[in-house]
A and B are shown apart, each in its own frame.
Chain A
């Protein structure tokens, strides 16, 4: 079965360190998204991609970067982790077109920045 996987599921790091969260999907979806989830804020979009070599900033992109070198993967990098980036991060993918908005989510990566 097709799926979307995130790793690591849990990570503790220190302020200032670089962190990369991996996201891999086997749906062959063109569209991929990274959200963060914080209490009281729901899910907020960090970055998204509509295809290989395409990346776009979401509403909370400061301090984050992504790259899309193939269809399957969209890694999220925190260049210099800050305590404000302690959160649960969700990767999602979608087919687009008449399936726009139908997202398939990974199980999340819980990041703690000390």
Chain B
């Protein structure tokens, strides 16, 4: 069965520092991969997606992610974090029935 693992429950970075959130997936074929962000008290918002083609994908709010098939990873990165990036981030994969399967999330804390 398809699954997504986000190994870091919490990550704390200083404002202005770079960020990398890890995501590993389990899927036999070429996966459809996504990153979503959830601000406190809100629903989830799509940051970026990977379907095929260029393995480095750009998203909103200055985020990017790189698909690495050999490592079954789809890590999210941002070169310089802003205090407003503090939120929970979810990696997700579309399964064989076209449903979205989410990881357990990584909560990002930003130090001033």
Interfacial residues, chain A to chain B (CB-CB below 8 A):
31, 33, 35, 40-45, 48, 50, 58, 90, 92, 96, 98, 100-103, 105-108
Check if B104 sits within 8 Å of A102, measured CB to CB: no
A90 touches B44 (CB 8 A): yes
Which A residues touch B49, using CB under 8 A?
101-102
Contact across chains for A101 and B43 when beta carbons are under 8 A apart: no
Which residues does B use to contact A, with CB under 8 Å?
6, 9, 32, 34, 36, 41-46, 49, 51, 90, 92, 94, 98-105
CB distance from A111 to the nearest CB of B (A): 15
Beta-carbon contact of B100 and A101 below 8 Å: yes
Most chain A CB within 10 A, of B6, B98, B100, B102, is at: B100
**What 3 pairs across the A-B complex have the smallest Cβ distances?**
A105-B43, A42-B104, A43-B102
Contacts of B99 in A (CB 8 A): 33, 45, 48, 58
A102 touches B90 (CB 8 A): no
Known contacts A107-B42, A107-B43, A108-B43: A100-B98 contact under CB 8 Å: yes
**In the bound complex, how far is the Cα of B42 from the Cα of A108, in angstroms?**
7
